[in-house]
Amino acid sequence: ETGVTQTPRHLVMGMTNKKSLKCEQHLGHNAMYWYKQSAKKPLELMFVYNFKEQTENNSVPSRFSPECPNSSHLFLHLHTLQPEDSALYLCASSQESLIKGGSYNEQFFGPGTRLTVL
Amino acid sequence: QKEVEQDPGPLSVPEGAIVSLNCTYSNSAFQYFMWYRQYSRKGPELLMYTYSSGNKEDGRFTAQVDKSSKYISLFIRDSQPSDSATYLCAMLNLISGNTGKLIFGQGTTLQVKP
C-alpha cells in the first residue's frame, strides 16, 4: 500500500449507530488531518494531529471523536450522527509544518469515505 | 464574507480549449497559493503551488497570482477530456502553515468534451 488509504470507502449508518472511519498513511509523515467535504461547500478542516497530539479542533460537534494512536494511523469515531453529517470524509497527511524552508510541504489526501446517515 | 471565493461552475468546454479557473480571497496575509485537482471518487491531489505574486508554468498548466487584486488563476492550455475534474484552490500564510490549516475554495467542476 502506498500513500494515504481510508476504510471503508462507503458507509451507510442510522442515527443511533456507532461506527469508525480508519486512515493509514505510508509516507512517514507526522501530521494527519480529517476534513469534511459536502456538496457545494469548501473542504472543512475538522481535526489536526501532530506527532499524535491534537493541535486543532475546528469546533467539531462531540458526536465526532478522533483518535490518533500513532503517526501512521488516524480514526474518526462516529455516534448519534444526523442526516446533515452525510458527506465525504477525507483524511490527509503531511510533514509536521506545511511551510518549511520557504517551500510548501504538500498535504496528501486519501480517497475518502462516503458517509450516508439515514 | 468567505475567506476564499470560487465559482463552483460547472464549466463545460470543448477539447482543445483554453480554460481559466479563478479564485478571489480576502486575507492579504496569504502567501502560498495552491491548486488541487480532484477526480470523481478520489481525494484531491496537488497540481501546483505558487509563492507570493507571479506566474508558474508546468506543462499545459499555468498558475497566476495577483496579490494586489487578491485574485489567483489557473490556466489549462489544449484541454483534454482527462482534465475533467473538480479544481480546488487553497491558500496558506506563515502562521496557518505552522498550524496545518489550508483554506480551500469550494471547487470548480470542469468538463472537457471530446
Q: In the predicted model, is pLDDT for residue B54 greater than 90?
A: no
Q: Mean pLDDT for chain A?
A: 94
Q: What local confidence, expressed as pLDDT, does residue B8 receive?
A: 85
With beta carbons less than 8 A apart as the criterion, state whether B113 and B13 touch. yes
Number of alpha carbons in the 13 Å side-chain half-sphere of residue A60: 22
Burial of A107 (0-12, 13-18, 19+ CB in 10 A): buried
Residue A113 touches chain B, beta carbons under 8 Å: no
Q: In the predicted model, is pLDDT for residue A8 greater than 80?
A: yes
CA distance B108 to B85: 8
The verdict on a CB contact (< 8 Å) between B106 and A41 is yes
Convert the pLDDT of each residue in A53-66 to its tens digit. Answer: 998 888 999 999 99
Question: pLDDT-based confidence at B16, cuts 50/70/90?
Answer: very high
Question: pLDDT-based confidence at A105, cuts 50/70/90?
Answer: very high
Q: What local confidence, expressed as pLDDT, does residue A1 receive?
A: 60
The verdict on a CB contact (< 8 Å) between A90 and B44 is yes
Q: Position of cell 442515527?
A: A15
| Chain A residues inside the 8 Å CB shell of B42 | 111-112
Q: Position of cell 490556466?
A: B75
Min Cα distance A76 → chain B (Å) is 17
Q: Taking the C-alpha atoms of A34, A109, A72 and A115 in order, what is their torsion angle to the nearest 10 degrees?
A: 50
Min Cα distance A79 → chain B (Å) is 24
C-alpha cell at A22: 480508519
Convert the pLDDT of each residue in A21-53 to its tens digit. Answer: 999 999 999 999 999 999 889 999 999 999 989
Q: Reduce the DSSP state of residue A49 to 3 states and report it.
A: strand
Q: What local confidence, expressed as pLDDT, does residue A101 receive?
A: 87
The verdict on a CB contact (< 8 Å) between B100 and A102 is no
A interface test, pick of B31, B49, B101, B108 with most A CB neighbours within 10 Å? B101
Q: What local confidence, expressed as pLDDT, does residue B1 receive?
A: 72
| Chain A residues inside the 8 Å CB shell of B98 | 97-99
Q: In the predicted model, is pLDDT for residue B94 greater than 90?
A: no
C-alpha cell at A55: 493541535
Q: Which residues of A3-17 are buried (b: 16+ CB within 10 A; e: fewer)?
A: ebebeeeebebeeee
Question: pLDDT-based confidence at B93, cuts 50/70/90?
Answer: confident
Residue A54 touches chain B, beta carbons under 8 Å: no
How large is the average pLDDT for residues B2-22? 94
Question: pLDDT-based confidence at B38, cuts 50/70/90?
Answer: very high
Reading phi first (left if > 0) and then psi (alpha if -120 to 50, else beta), residue A51 is in left
Q: What local confidence, expressed as pLDDT, does residue A116 receive?
A: 96
